[in-house]
Amino acid sequence: MKKLLLTAAAFILASPVFADIRRPDGFWKLTDSKGQPKSVIRVFPQGKGVYGAMIVQYYTDTKSVCSACTDENKNKPINGLIFIQGLKTTDGVTFTGGKILDPETGKISKAKMVVKADGRHLVINSYGLLGSWFGSSDVWVRLQ
């Protein structure tokens, strides 16, 4: 009985109600310009205050490989690919200093990630030498 109560308490405390909604940890959905699912992404801690992201499900072509990549990701499957690394935070909401890989082009850019106040949206900016004003951005939606 005691074991059952401890297990139940652990599940309750781990539920989203008790979670810090502004943390980026978890699963996110990216859609294309037509609103169709493009991929499911898992954001995870890589160390203290450092985050990365992995493509869990790539809907465009589930058997795709990163053929355009020129680094160690060359010809690796896109499903399971760690495509964001090294995002660091000081406030737990804005993450900078990392790199993002576009698996369709093989291009590696600088990355910035911001958790919106509602905790349900994550803005990802990728940019080059001219800074984030001249890059691209996507909004990911948290999966429950």
Asked if residue 72 is part of any domain, the answer here is yes
User: In which domain, by residue range, is 25 found?
Assistant: 21-142
Asked if residue 80 is part of any domain, the answer here is yes
Per-residue pLDDT at 92: 87
Whichever domain contains 121, its CATH number is 2.40.128.520
Total domains in the fold of the chain: 1
Within the chain, which residues score under 70 in pLDDT? 1-20, 129-135
Per-residue pLDDT at 133: 54
Per-residue pLDDT at 16: 46
Burial environment of residue 90 by CB neighbours within 10 A (0 to 12, 13 to 18, 19 or more): exposed
- Contact (Cβ atoms closer than 8 angstroms) between residue 20 and residue 26: no
The verdict on pTM exceeding 0.85 is: no
